[in-house]
Chains A and B, each alone.
Chain A
Amino acid sequence: MRKAADEYTGRLRWPRLGQDVAIVAWPSFLVASVATMVCFGFIDPVLVGNDDYPPPAFQTRMAGYAVGFFFFWLIAALSSLMTLYLVRTAHPEPADEGTDDGTRSPE
């Protein structure tokens, strides 16, 4: 009986790649949504640019919002990706019985 239960509880991880894509894409998506809202709450995309003409991507407001959103998403995703990279490539945390001065012994 125990075994039947464990069959559905153990190992519910997805392959690392899928997980990594998700944890980079999703938080940056949330951040980009907020950034887009705040940014375009204050700035009208068709008024962006010098000498009274907006750059081509901002010709219409809808295009401006979309370009802004994907720009924020990209930037946030890059930041998430870098963080993830640093986390994934770090040495594992030293075990509890680490050296006395808190430094890590070479592995």
Chain B
Amino acid sequence: MNEAQAPVDGALYAARQKIYPRDIKGRFQRLRVYAVFALLGLYYVLPWIRWGERQAVLFDLPARKFHIFGLTLWPQDFYFLTWLLIIAALALFFFTALAGRLFCGYACPQTVWTETFVWIERWVEGSRTQQMKLAKAPLSGEKILRKGTKYFLWFAFALWTGFTFVGYFTPINELAGKVVTFSTGPWETFWVLFYGGATYVNAGFMREQVCKYMCPYARFQSAMFDQDTLIITYDEKRGEPRGARKKGSDPRAAGLGDCVDCTVCVQVCPTGIDIRKGLQYECIACAACIDACDEVMEKVGYPKGLIRYDTQSGLEGRAKHVLRPRTIIYGSLIALLIAGFAYSITHRNVVAVDVIRDRNALFRELPGGLIENVYSVKILNKDAASHEFSITADGLPGLQVDYGTDAVEVGPGDVQSVAVRLRVPRGELKGGSDILFTIRTQDERALEATGKARFLAPTN
């Protein structure tokens, strides 16, 4: 889009200048603070919540089971995860079409953690001007102390983040115990440091560069925009020509627009761009410039909203359409998928069976003209209660099923392997046939599952 600007890029080799976003208060910034607290709160607290005997949310990788409150997902339920990912992707499209980069501004982990790191920075080093002064100042005791404190706090916060991350995959209580006694396993230690390190580098140093150079979403989101997408814009018609003016003078008489050219909107921008140059892919839609500009407008006594959320149509004075083919299609697709997901997860079969033929012997000929095949039948009980199962088999006349007992008990969330012998009178049996195994619960809750296997017999 902006290829026309490319030739200026002798700057490609210039080192990045650190951006010191200026602190700003306002309604959107308040919203963002709530979002940060809600999301990070959720992230740090969730693994500590208990559900009965176990951690409420635990992606137990060693056991290959995912626990999410009352729900336990097995590898066989993997497609639910895929399904969820598709819903999430569609939701992202939907919200992008509606209101631009809402995700970037309010919910992206990159933004949320960067925000926290910026707060820490401000808390230790002071305001934007103080930070810039400190950076330029010669090395001194105070500089070392301030910078050291900042890095230490960042480091501690990042470590805690890494620890929490691993706490989603191994029981966090045990992990905490191990951390205190310095006895974490090699992989646990590694992942804590890996995730913590990534947080430290991404939120402490790379910041807006992640959005500018590394994030695929930042590049393709504009493809989901249309004339009716809410974006953060500068009202050029109203603002230009910009310029400083005397207090109380009539801007129109001086041939000026409403922009007083105070550059506050640029100073607050975490990605260091000038929104007055139009929508740019660097803009993460944090709305800091809206709040900043509103404050200025209030001070000079002009109406707010020189920079505001608006649509292309709105800026050009046309009617706005929230409902349009794009949003209706995305919206109904999401609704459909969510309904389907909810239905299938509540109606999923909580028992499963896996039948494997004994590999060591093809078949056995028993006295009395019987042919025997041996199978290992694996019964999977994903239910929260224990069940007793019977095993039956169909597919050949006169089939006898023998698995030692009448009922196999399988505990909640357990797998039980049963050796099953099938016997068939020799008769006209030839070659192989397909057998259908059925496992059925013997108790009040009727559950069943089937599995297929081959029955082999002599060919002559």
Contacts and interface: CB of A to CB of B under 8 A. Distances in A.
Interface of A: 1-2, 4-5, 8-16, 19, 22-23, 26-27, 30, 37, 41-42, 44, 60-63, 65-66
Most chain A beta-carbon neighbours within 10 Å: one of B9, B14, B81: B14
A12 B19 contact: yes
B129 interface: no
A11 B14 CA distance: 7
A2 B261 contact: yes
Contacts of A15: 13, 15-16
B216 interface: yes
A44 B62 contact: no
Given A8-B272, A41-B75, A65-B61, A1 B244 contact: yes
Contacts, number: 78
A54 B34 CA distance: 49
A1 B81 contact: no
B11 A10 contact: yes
B349 interface: no
A69 to B, nearest CB: 10
A65 B61 CA distance: 9
Given A26-B214, A41-B81, A65-B61, A14 B263 contact: no
Given A1-B244, A14-B15, A61-B61, A9 B266 contact: yes
A44 B64 CA distance: 8
Contacts of A4: 263
10 nearest CB pairs, A to B = A41-B78, A14-B16, A5-B263, A11-B11, A26-B214, A11-B14, A62-B187, A5-B266, A9-B274, A61-B62
B272 A27 contact: no
B190 interface: yes
A3 to B, nearest CB: 10
B161 interface: no
A23 B61 contact: no
Contacts of A65: 61
Contact of B263 (A1, A26, A27, A30): A1
